[in-house]
Structure 1
């Protein structure tokens, strides 16, 4: 296939703007972990495990609803307008969560933020996948994961610098009456307002997805967008390929029966299982329940905030590694590496907790697990999900997969305190190790390699013999 000159400056601008959804996804999702020791005391729920789980998991319920509607709004209105809506939801949530004085309204604004996450987590990688040339698509879709990780680190750094030093041995009453307990946790949420407003403004400067434009019979507009990315010849060829796959699936409306067909059902099932596995591999527990994990390892609340920054930095570094390897090593190899690597580390981590090791050995194992996850399952799952679904149903199929991911995430976050209480830290991580072994087997048997192929080539390959 003949190479076309790519306008990387313009392509990078589009990818970075749309990937701000990933940044806000990361910030909004993780900021609560650092605020947790303070807002729990403020709202009087520090001794109520059910309400603690609801505070942590409520945003994930919003994510589920966001994922449910994302596919339908993407196929009806495109990718751009729903991303603008998600930016508005992030803005409302950031302000409201920090402003409220009662727990019910706190939950309401967390639900609103979760709705924004559900939209952005589906549509940001989808939009990038649909504008990026096949040769570079893995790297550009991974930008969304990079910004997500930067958002996570930004939340961790903001929490660390906003919180005032907590003297060792501080009582709960002292923490509640401190600046952290009354005001500091609010500023942790309010710091999100800056990127949320910026995302909202910049999204008006990006074009609609060329694949969506072709789908609504606006070939001229699609060709204009693609010409700016890769030139006239590139645009003509891409529009031709997109039309070919849409003609192959000529029905205009998407019906439930489409997902039951012998060609489509196995592909959607692969997407659902990969999405669930990305959550049930267990790594996100470290971000959401850092206080419990590091306290069990012998660290104080102040140490915990610093350790979170360390883990976030490692997360960022190895996400950058993934961006360098996704289009060279391939998606399948990285997914296999991640699943088996985590299985081994969790087995050792569980043993460390069982033998009551504390301090740096546990921190080192946690950092190793985050490094493995950051260069494999975290970014590559989103790359694969943005690639494998047929053009005509991509929005709804991506919505189904993302819905499955957030349901799995809610179950993970909500059940961790229960599992941790029933099995202990060691038993919980051993359970996650077993899950990772199951994920490795599934990926080995079912996931094809997609690197270096256009979305249309992937579609034809996955559906031709089913």
Structure 2
């Protein structure tokens, strides 16, 4: 059965996105198996040559985040040099090495190495994948495709919890390495982003990549007016070579940098990774009522996946600021109320209320906050600025996550578990305030309009607005 010409390109873009999201699935699996494997490493039946202690377990939980921070910072540079596809393929190779290292590990250092490589792969993938999807997708499906990143990550966490609980330890890494190999094999057949070749001035590869992502196969299809129009837009963009003005107002740069940094850090401060990494300790404090910790953690993972899936449906139609504001405010309110319940040590008959608050916190964090940290920069920042700011913001936010996870027990002893949930609530409320007062609405807005909103008042702007709005992608964003 042959697809209509206008659906071929959309299908190819969706397939390329699905294959790329396998990296996020595998990262989620690594996070999901962590609690079960920590218990195993501390048990007398440990597969390692000695029983892990508390310090060992702490580093197992947190090492993935510190390596992700370092990887994210360097990934922005690599995206410019070798392209987003090259960075994603390197991430796939790191994931394969990580799972092999885990499978054959007999010392705690091997586990550390495995987690560090997994973190490096995750930091690079979560930086490069939104850029890749933005640059291959058409404007009408870009939002929905980018938000699938969190859908696949949360699916991986759910699968990881189930594998850690029900699959023998020796087989977990085998399953995961097969998934990583499938990504590396399939993704190698994808083309690099046409915008990467545009920035390099490589016309033949640009045209080949554009044909591939638009489903143009036959000679006759290459003469389609819409394809020629889009290709002409790329070529004229290369000829003008107008990327940015020499003097960009400090007001614009400060606003863009501050908003992006607060967005990423605030979302990470919502504490979802902390709750997942230390689910055994958090859920053992009677936060979740009448459920074993494994079942409770699986329920939280399922709630995450459902929320992320709903966001994929909402992304093409819902205003970004409204979604971010409602999800962040509700998430923060639930977290602060949960902190009060924990501090007051609510009675057994009211524990169900604390459980509902925790579910609300997890649900709304993944309904809008986490998906939008990949989507909003792609819509409100020009290409070079977007790559730089997102890589730095990812790096700083991963560093914050590392601190919260690594020093969880020290902080918990000092401020209590309720103090942690107050931190999560403050992070969420800061995102709600950012959405209400600082972030522009990006749905249906051109980059030039957003630049003027942030104080860039010149006629030309940073974006390439001298290029006509032709083709299927707004070239001004690149």
Which of the five TM-score ranges fits, normalised by the shorter chain? 0.7 to 0.9
CA contact (8 A) 1:93 1:109 kept: yes
2:187 is matched with 203
1:173 is matched with none
- Which range moves more in the overlay, 436-445 or 333-342? 436-445
The alpha carbon displacement at 1:97 in A equals 1.9
Q: How does 1:258-297 map to 2 (within 5 A)?
A: 261-297=250-286
2:382 to 387, 390, 393: 390
2:298 corresponds to 1:309: yes
The one-character-per-residue Cα deviations of 1:41-63 (angstroms, maximum 9, x if unpaired) are 44667653x44322211111211
CA contact (8 A) 1:264 1:463 kept: no
- Which range moves more in the overlay, 101-110 or 230-239? 230-239
2:439 corresponds to 1:447: yes
Cα distance in 1 between the residues matched to 2:407 and 2:423: 13
2:82 is matched with 77
2:182 corresponds to 1:191: no
1:349 is matched with 338
2:207 corresponds to 1:215: no
Structure 2, unmatched stretches of 5+, are 217-223, 459-478
CA contact (8 A) 1:19 1:147 kept: yes
Q: How does 1:418-457 map to 2 (within 5 A)?
A: 418-453=410-445
Cα distance in 2 between the residues matched to 1:281 and 1:202: 34
- Provide the TM-score with structure 1 as the length reference: 0.85
2:58 corresponds to 1:58: no
Cα distance in 1 between the residues matched to 2:319 and 2:381: 18
Q: Is the alpha carbon distance of 1:9 and 1:263 closer, same or farther for their aligned partners in structure 2, counting shifts above 3 Å?
A: same
Cα distance in 1 between the residues matched to 2:258 and 2:225: 36
Cα distance in 2 between the residues matched to 1:453 and 1:234: 22
Q: How does 1:236-275 map to 2 (within 5 A)?
A: 236-238=228-230, 244=237, 247-249=241-243, 261-275=250-264
Cα distance in 2 between the residues matched to 1:420 and 1:155: 26
> What is the number of equivalent residue pairs in this alignment?
436
The alpha carbon displacement at 1:126 in A equals 1.3
CA contact (8 A) 1:149 1:312 kept: yes
2:135 corresponds to 1:159: no
CA contact (8 A) 2:288 2:352 kept: no
Q: Is the alpha carbon distance of 1:124 and 1:287 closer, same or farther for their aligned partners in structure 2, counting shifts above 3 Å?
A: same
Q: Is the alpha carbon distance of 1:190 and 1:409 closer, same or farther for their aligned partners in structure 2, counting shifts above 3 Å?
A: farther
Cα distance in 2 between the residues matched to 1:25 and 1:259: 37
Cα distance in 2 between the residues matched to 1:456 and 1:20: 34
Cα distance in 2 between the residues matched to 1:107 and 1:268: 33
Cα distance in 1 between the residues matched to 2:84 and 2:279: 34
1:150 is matched with 155
The alpha carbon displacement at 1:120 in A equals 0.7
The one-character-per-residue Cα deviations of 1:111-168 (angstroms, maximum 9, x if unpaired) are 1111111111111121111111122211010111111111111111211222xxxxxx
2:80 corresponds to 1:93: no
2:317 is matched with 328
The one-character-per-residue Cα deviations of 1:292-311 (angstroms, maximum 9, x if unpaired) are 11111177999211222111
Cα distance in 2 between the residues matched to 1:454 and 1:216: 25
- Which range moves more in the overlay, 431-440 or 200-209? 431-440
Q: Is the alpha carbon distance of 1:376 and 1:68 closer, same or farther for their aligned partners in structure 2, counting shifts above 3 Å?
A: same
Cα distance in 1 between the residues matched to 2:403 and 2:249: 26
SS of structure 2 residue aligned to 1:375 = helix
1:139 is matched with 144
Cα distance in 2 between the residues matched to 1:392 and 1:427: 39
- Provide the TM-score with structure 2 as the length reference: 0.83
The one-character-per-residue Cα deviations of 1:389-431 (angstroms, maximum 9, x if unpaired) are 3223443333212212211221221232222221222222123
Cα distance in 1 between the residues matched to 2:402 and 2:334: 23
Cα distance in 2 between the residues matched to 1:192 and 1:99: 14
2:99 corresponds to 1:104: no
2:138 corresponds to 1:124: no
Q: Is the alpha carbon distance of 1:240 and 1:348 closer, same or farther for their aligned partners in structure 2, counting shifts above 3 Å?
A: farther
1:165 is matched with none
2:221 is matched with none
Q: Is the alpha carbon distance of 1:146 and 1:420 closer, same or farther for their aligned partners in structure 2, counting shifts above 3 Å?
A: same
1:179 is matched with none
CA contact (8 A) 2:251 2:454 kept: no
Q: Is the alpha carbon distance of 1:259 and 1:374 closer, same or farther for their aligned partners in structure 2, counting shifts above 3 Å?
A: farther
SS of structure 1 residue aligned to 2:241 = helix
Cα distance in 2 between the residues matched to 1:40 and 1:188: 18
CA contact (8 A) 2:287 2:342 kept: no
2:395 is matched with 403
- Which range moves more in the overlay, 386-395 or 275-284? 386-395
The alpha carbon displacement at 1:459 in A equals 6.4
